[in-house]
Amino acid sequence: MIGARFIPLILKQVWRHRTRSLLTIAGVSIAMFLFIAVQTLQRGVHEATAVTAGDTTLVVYRENRFCPATSRLPEFYGSRIRRIPGVREVTPIQIVVNNCGASLDVVTFRGIPSDDVRGLASRWNIIGGSVDDWMKRSDAAILGERLAQRRSLTVGQSFDAAGVTVTVAGIMRSTEAQDQNVAYVHLGFLQRSAGAKGGVGTVTQFDVRVSDPARLEEIARAIDDAFRSESEPTQTRPEKAFVAQAGSDVVEIVGFTRYLGWGCLAAVLALVANAVVLSVQDRIREHAVLQTLGFRSGLIARLIVAESVLIGLIGGALGMVGAMALVHFGQFTLSNEGLSVNISGDWRVAVSGLLLSAGVGVVAGLVPAWRAGRNEIASCFRAV
């Protein structure tokens, strides 16, 4: 450990070679910026696709279909699904998107029956407008907060996408990942719109809520068995497993970025280690003077490691702040097949980034600290 009385000495050593230190800190901050951004993206994918023991939602889709434009199920399937033991709630949903592929700017319309909006609203926090306003207009829409922010939309405004024109009747905030980037509209209105496929009486999917999370797979099999011999068979999966399957391209791309993150850490290690090695070589005689003044070799080694940690922490903090600010104000969302992966900052990601910066600083300073601690006083004075 380093006492508080040595902190001014450490700061002085970093500042003495300010150009080298500033360039190293800049390199570390850029690398940590990329690392934090990658970690944030991976966390968003994990939250959107990781099935947990408390999940109670199933998605009933047309078998062997993936894009909303190709999944068409008769609306009357809903009444049959409700009769299956363990099913608590069934919501028929018509989905229209302006882009079925992977994109950062996808508008997803979800048409739901007017009678079901109250149940959905129980998990929303209405921050603008109201559900009552939505009920009064057939072309009304309740927007997720992220969609409203990305499109700069407010209550009362009209907008169109994918051949659908709606008026914003409310803006809501939700903890559900798939609610934050969609526009909820009336089912009948969306079925008759130019962008919908199949027309009245046909929906894209059914969202099914079950009473017991432990029976999720059992109920999914029961639903598929009920329609196996129909002309429109179904494939039922837990919601997050469905998101993982439908957004497999996005998941695979994000998985590849893991290597970019580790590459950033390697770059940080190389930058800090190079700066510390050069700094130690420039101060060989100074270390000899410190030894003659009573500084033990172990203390000198710890001072060098502390200097390395300081550089890593400063660069890591700057990169972390930059990445978190970009994610917070950018409100980025990756969408594919009408499903969304929200990219949002998390304090756990920020803390892990700072801890890794400090850890890399320790590792980078170990070898030069060990070498400086082993040098004899006489050899240090003879060094050029």
Task: List, for residues 216-269, the tens digit of each pLDDT value.
Answer: 889 999 999 999 999 999 999 888 777 766 656 666 667 777 788 888 878 887
Q: How confident is the model at residue 122 (pLDDT cuts 50, 70, 90)?
A: confident
Q: What is the pLDDT of residues 52-74, one digit of tens each?
A: 656 788 999 999 887 787 889 99
pLDDT at 2: 63
Query: Average pLDDT in the 81-90 region?
Result: 93
pLDDT at 261: 80
pLDDT at residue 308 greater than cutoff 50: yes
> Domain spans of the chain?
4-49+249-382, 64-232
pLDDT at 141: 95
Place of tokens 């970009």: 326
Strands 182-186 and 108-112: parallel
Higher per-residue pLDDT: 197 or 256 = 256
User: What is the average pLDDT score of the chain?
Assistant: 80
Q: How far apart are CA 171 and CA 153, in angstroms?
A: 9
CA-CA distances (angstroms) from residue 326 to 65, 101, 177, 263? Answer: 36, 24, 20, 21
Higher per-residue pLDDT: 279 or 135 = 135
- Partners of 235 in beta bridges: 61
Q: How far apart are CA 345 and CA 320, in angstroms?
A: 10
Q: How confident is the model at residue 384 (pLDDT cuts 50, 70, 90)?
A: very low
Residue 54 Cα to chain centre, angstroms: 21
Given CA atoms 19, 24, 29, 34 in this order, what sign does their dihedral have?
A: positive
Higher per-residue pLDDT: 83 or 98 = 83
Q: How far apart are CA 65 and CA 299, in angstroms?
A: 66
pLDDT at 381: 47
CB 171 within 8 A of CB 208: no
Query: Average pLDDT in the 103-129 region?
Result: 85
pLDDT at 166: 93
pLDDT at 374: 59
Q: What is the pLDDT of residues 159-168, one digit of tens each?
A: 888 788 899 9
Least confident interval from 2-16, 251-265, 300-314: 2-16
Q: How far apart are CA 95 and CA 101, in angstroms?
A: 14
Q: How far apart are CA 204 and CA 199, in angstroms?
A: 11
pLDDT at 210: 92
Higher per-residue pLDDT: 95 or 285 = 95
Q: What is the pLDDT of residues 338-369, one digit of tens each?
A: 667 777 777 888 888 888 888 888 887 777 76
Q: Angle 239-246/248-282 helices, nearest 10 degrees?
A: 80
Query: Average pLDDT in the 114-130 region?
Result: 87
Q: How far apart are CA 204 and CA 92, in angstroms?
A: 8
Q: What is the pLDDT of residues 174-193, one digit of tens each?
A: 877 778 888 999 999 998 87
CB 242 within 8 A of CB 208: no
Q: What is the pLDDT of residues 137-175, one digit of tens each?
A: 999 999 998 889 888 899 999 988 878 889 999 999 987
SS (H, E, C) the chain: CCCHHHHHHHHHHHHHCHHHHHHHHHHHHHHHHHHHHHHHHHHHHHHHHCCCCCCCEEEEEECCCCCHHHCCEECCHHHHHHCCCCEEEEEEEEEEECCCCCECCCCEEEEECHHHHHHHHCCEEEEEECHHHHHHCCCEEEEEHHHHHHHCCCCCCEEEECCEEEEEEEEEEECCHHHCCEEEEEHHHHHCCCCCCCCCCEECEEEEEECCHHHHHHHHHHHHHHCCCCCCCEEEEEHHHHHHHHCHHHHHHHHHHHHHHHHHHHHHHHHHHHHHHHHHHHCHHHHHHHHHCCCCHHHHHHHHHHHHHHHHHHHHHHHHHHHHHHHHHHCCEEEECCEEEECCCCHHHHHHHHHHHHHHHHHHHHHHHHHHHHCCHHHHHHCC
Q: How far apart are CA 92 and CA 73, in angstroms?
A: 9
pLDDT at 249: 63
**Percent share of the chain, pLDDT over 70:** 78
CB 372 within 8 A of CB 301: yes
